[in-house]
Structure 1
Amino acid sequence: MKVHAINEGKTQLSTRRKTSSKIAHLVALALIVTIIPIYYPYIHYILEKPTAIPSPIDNLLNVQTTTTLSRHHPIYRSHIIPTTQKEDDDPKLVVVPPEKKEHRKRGRRKRGRREAVLKRTGGDGDGDGDVGGGGGGNKSCDLFSGEWVENPEGPYYTNTTCWAIQEHQNCMKFGRPDQDFLKWRWKPNECELPVLDPVQFLEMMRGKSLAFVGDSVARNHMQSLLCLLSRVAYPNDVSTSSDQNFRRWEYPDYNFNISIFWSPYLVNTDRTDRNDITKPFKLYLDEFDESWTSQIEQFDYVIISAGQWFFRPTMFYSNRFIIGCLYCPESSIRHRPSTFSYRRAWRTAFRAINSLKNFKGIVFLRSFVPSHFEGGHWDKGGDCVRTKPFKSNESVMEDYSLEMYKTQLQEYRIGEREGRKNGVKITIMDMTQVMQLRPDGHPSKYGHWPLQNVTMANDCVHWCLPGPIDAWNDFLMELIKREESGR
């Protein structure tokens, strides 16, 4: 009897182990299906060779000229220097100690970098649509040049007080041990950027509407705003669709509503495989994505953004004819860089906005935001484990992030000028260098519970909530104030 009982116990234990193993693998598979679409591009990006980027004038003449800057250019050279000598190795990154320079000099140097970018991207320096901070108000203060400074009062909500945080952004829930990354605010060099006051914001938005257009980082931004406002008011879900990518919330006491429109490529798209999101998408680069272009005319403010999806395998179409691809196996199709589709997509998006006959609102372009993988690519152990921001002279963009940013600015300049002719206001919310300095704000491995014997990719693309992107709404409130005072 004892032997029989022992054998039976062993059998039950073995069964439980097998069942647990199956469950763990199923959970891991689900997480992989969720994460791969976000990070897939980084598998291939290192293989992409520098390619000529056409300037706006050259595009009109159908002539391409190279505007790519050397990574050793004195303006754009990063102070994060790879210690390895092999180009195909994953660089181990070290930070060069900041030079001890007087604060005002640092501000002038930073403005000089920005002016150099504008000069290369076709900036006219006339002050309209200025990258330095919008329309009315104190134009002499560039909101986007500054430093992250300590803020002991943060954060202004927690993962237990806000209902809008998705699991993969809930860093505190999943055991992130440090909280210093929550204790910073953005300080422009020559003025103050007030922290968002939820009551003042809701009063300012009384009777108005706000739309977010873009990908999961755009949704990340919207959720941050919902969390900040949750300190004083909760909205009603008045969505007409069950699709989580198209939602609408209403604050009835203020007659104010917020909507999200999912459009990671900004243009009309289709899948090559309906059942596999990791397979290439078809991008119809000259066609509007009517899921948002047909909806935004009614909104007072629209925040539009896009970025990381443009590194995925994609097929490019114009006039319904294939004109190229990114990371496709076909040798007969012209292989083009990420900036090719990024440029065309923004051109089409601005054309859609400027074609709206009755749009009286303001469009904010939220600029490209870099990821922060260090020590390897996303699928090769790359991670973002820093616990505090960089100083402004410790890190600047280079390589593909810089190219995407430059491309976006070039198309913004063209779209903004065309908008002025048609009475459409487009301005920029320049978060690129601001967030380049925040490698400490990503979920990393704290976007899910660890799984035994399963290695998951680290998330260095999205942002913890609460976290650094709460400051995006400080910028948003100040920019709206400036635009309205300018009117």
Structure 2
Amino acid sequence: MKGGGGYFYGLKMRQLSLFFIVFVCASIVVWNWEKTPRLTTLLPPHDQSLHIFPDELKREREHVTEVKQDFKEDKPVVNNILPPSLSTNSASLNTRQDESPTTHENHHESNNIIEKSISEGDDDSKPFKPQLIASVTSHTTESAVTEEHIDTPMTNVEKQACNLGKGKWIPADNRPLYSGFGCKQWLSGMWACRLTQRTDFGYEKLKWQPKDCKIDDFTGPEFLKRMQDKTLAFVGDSLGRQQFQSLMCMVTGGEEMPDVEDVGTEYGLIKAEGSTRPDGWAYRFPTTNTTILYYWSASLCDIQPVDPTNHATDYAMHLDRPPAFLQHFLHKINVLVLNTGHHWNRGKLNANKWIMYVNGKPNTNRKIADIGGAKNFTIYSVVRWVNSELPKYPGLKAFMRSISPRHFFNGEWNTGGTCDSTTPGTLEVVQDESSDPVAAGAVKGTEVKLLDITGLSLVREEGHISRYSMRAAPGTQDCLHWCLPGVPDTWNEILFAQI
């Protein structure tokens, strides 16, 4: 028994010695870990997954580069912006402000019209599908980035820009942002689908959610706070007017606000003799001195009578000059949103007696005379002019809004084309590039930002006014304009995030 006790005593001592050695080693490791806390930065925080930042997209379409080089050398822009596979021959639906599609004749182009390939239909009446869209480098904003601190040794990484045009539509109980039965102070009845015989309103309950960033929820008070003592101007066609009316409804919540001032006279927006309406509207919210205005300029170029003394005169369409309104009032604007696209067809030019001018004289360049070339030339011209003016007005933010898509299926507006679906498309946009390469190419390399709404609107075919247009003839549908409240509200939410 004594010998056995010695054996167990020796074994116990060895175990204690081993434990003491392990304890000392562990203490040394812990002490060194505390003395070098930077080692912990090699791991992501416990509540955050590891973020991998992709390299910035450097792809640029060769034709866009060539167009921009032409501008740099002050040469006419005549290059096709879209590849031949997307160049189609069709007439676009042209509506001036409140006009119905039925008020225009059908004009088809026999030439290769580039501009028709972006949401303006084609002769084969095929629906425009997102997978057919050309790719160019997308333009994003840093203002809406969710700034998440990532404690990593990569000190050269600041933050990733947010692509607001990439994401998906999700159901939301807090939509719409105003009642479709209200907002009669600002909203045209022809666009208030709740006042028509339409019975499905699921399109009102979807919210756009960008993929890699979070944007603030829109509220009227917060918008007015951000825009205190400032003026926001929409300049463009009837889709620009829809965005203007949408914003007025969003800011007011669709409620009557008799204290809002009509300040159109300050901007020359008065109804001319013989006209049914002025060329635009301007309203001021006195509590914050915020002005929101809209000016109708379907082509975004300056249009002047060739002979002011002759009421039957033609009109010079100066493709290389911005609208006179912008030349006169840009100094009073703090946020500018431009758009154009759906009035560019030969029939509309002929009906308005518009004659293309470049450098102050009738255009003789055949490539610019092509409707697509003229439109692209004008977009690049107005963006370049605005960009040149920005240094004079440091507080000015300028946006070129990408084109709003049409959704005519099985025909055109006057040949039985329809958009009477009650369900949206895929509800998701996965591409990084803008779906409007012309607008994206025009702003690239400038301080003018892209308000990219084309892709997210392409998947919302059910949101158009469709057969419920108040002015449309039987069998005619409006697949260009949108029901309000509806898709244009999201355009303003994205604008709100970028201001």
TM-score, length-scaled by structure 1: 0.65
Q: Does 1:316 align with 2:338?
A: no
Q: CA deviation at 1:479?
A: 0.8
Note if contact 2:428-2:459 (Cα within 8 Å) is conserved in structure 1: no
Q: Find the partner of 2:490 among 471, 478, 483.
A: 471
* Deviating more after overlay: 428-437 vs 263-272: 263-272
Q: CA deviation at 1:145?
A: 0.4
Q: CA deviation at 1:132?
A: 2.0
Aligned partner of residue 437 in structure 2, secondary structure: helix
Q: CA deviation at 1:154?
A: 1.5
Aligned partner of residue 308 in structure 1, secondary structure: coil
- 1:368-420 CA-partner distances (Å, limit 9, x unpaired): 12111111011111121122322256999xxxx96xx2222222225x1xxxx
**Could you tell me which residue of structure 2 aligns to residue 352 of structure 1?**
385
Q: Does 1:201 align with 2:236?
A: no
- 1:148-201 CA-partner distances (Å, limit 9, x unpaired): 111233212123320211132121212112111111010111233333111211
**Could you tell me which residue of structure 1 aligns to residue 203 of structure 2?**
181
Note if contact 1:342-1:408 (Cα within 8 Å) is conserved in structure 2: no
Q: Find the partner of 1:437 among 441, 459, 475.
A: 459
Whichever residue aligns with residue 181 of structure 2, its letter is T
Note if contact 2:81-2:437 (Cα within 8 Å) is conserved in structure 1: no
Whichever residue aligns with residue 377 of structure 1, its letter is E
Whichever residue aligns with residue 180 of structure 2, its letter is N
Partner Cα distance (1:355, 1:94) in 2: 36
Q: CA deviation at 1:358?
A: 3.3
Query: Structure 2: which 5+ runs fail to align?
Result: 1-62, 88-121, 147-159, 272-277
Q: Find the partner of 1:304 among 338, 352, 374.
A: 338
Partner Cα distance (2:175, 2:246) in 1: 14
Partner Cα distance (2:161, 2:460) in 1: 25
Q: Does 1:342 align with 2:375?
A: yes
- Tell me how many residue pairs correspond in the alignment: 362
- Shift in alpha-carbon separation, 1:315–1:150, aligned structure 2, 3 A: same
TM-score, length-scaled by structure 2: 0.64
**Could you tell me which residue of structure 1 aligns to residue 477 of structure 2?**
458
- Shift in alpha-carbon separation, 1:183–1:236, aligned structure 2, 3 A: same
**Could you tell me which residue of structure 2 aligns to residue 157 of structure 1?**
178
Q: CA deviation at 1:263?
A: 1.3
Aligned partner of residue 295 in structure 1, secondary structure: helix
Q: Does 1:411 align with 2:442?
A: yes
**Could you tell me which residue of structure 1 aligns to residue 419 of structure 2?**
384
Q: CA deviation at 1:323?
A: 2.3
Note if contact 1:285-1:348 (Cα within 8 Å) is conserved in structure 2: yes
**Could you tell me which residue of structure 1 aligns to residue 275 of structure 2?**
none
- 1:292-320 CA-partner distances (Å, limit 9, x unpaired): 22202122211111111123335322123
Whichever residue aligns with residue 270 of structure 2, its letter is S
- Shift in alpha-carbon separation, 1:228–1:268, aligned structure 2, 3 A: same
Partner Cα distance (2:314, 2:437) in 1: 25
Note if contact 1:208-1:257 (Cα within 8 Å) is conserved in structure 2: yes
**Could you tell me which residue of structure 2 aligns to residue 14 of structure 1?**
none
**Could you tell me which residue of structure 1 aligns to residue 270 of structure 2?**
242
Q: CA deviation at 1:237?
A: 1.5
* Deviating more after overlay: 471-480 vs 352-361: 352-361
Note if contact 2:301-2:318 (Cα within 8 Å) is conserved in structure 1: yes
Q: CA deviation at 1:66?
A: 5.8
Partner Cα distance (1:273, 1:62) in 2: 26
- 1:317-343 CA-partner distances (Å, limit 9, x unpaired): 212333269xxxxxxx77843321122
Q: Does 1:131 align with 2:139?
A: yes
**Could you tell me which residue of structure 2 aligns to residue 422 of structure 1?**
none
Partner Cα distance (2:128, 2:263) in 1: 49
Aligned partner of residue 294 in structure 2, secondary structure: strand
Note if contact 2:141-2:164 (Cα within 8 Å) is conserved in structure 1: yes
Q: Find the partner of 1:142 among 160, 163, 166.
A: 163
Aligned partner of residue 258 in structure 1, secondary structure: strand
Query: Structure 1: which 5+ runs fail to align?
Result: 1-51, 74-86, 99-109, 119-129, 326-332, 417-424, 481-487
**Could you tell me which residue of structure 1 aligns to residue 233 of structure 2?**
211
Q: Does 1:57 align with 2:69?
A: yes
**Could you tell me which residue of structure 2 aligns to residue 13 of structure 1?**
none
**Could you tell me which residue of structure 1 aligns to residue 95 of structure 2?**
none
- Shift in alpha-carbon separation, 1:334–1:322, aligned structure 2, 3 A: farther
- Shift in alpha-carbon separation, 1:280–1:137, aligned structure 2, 3 A: farther
